[in-house]
Structure 1
Amino acid sequence: MELTEAAHADAVAAGRAVIADPDLAERWQGEHPENTPRPELFYAPGTEDYTDHPFLRTS
Structure 2
Amino acid sequence: MFADVSVMPVVVTQVKAKLGSLRIHHKGGDARVRAMADLVQTLSQSIDEETGHMRMQV
| Structure (1 or 2) with the greater helix fraction | 1
CA radius of gyration, larger in: 2
Same fold (TM over 0.5): no
Compare relative contact order (CA 8 Å, sep 6+) and give the higher one, 1 or 2.
Answer: 1
Q: TM-score, normalised by structure 2?
A: 0.26
Q: TM-score, normalised by structure 1?
A: 0.26
| Structure (1 or 2) with the greater strand fraction | 2
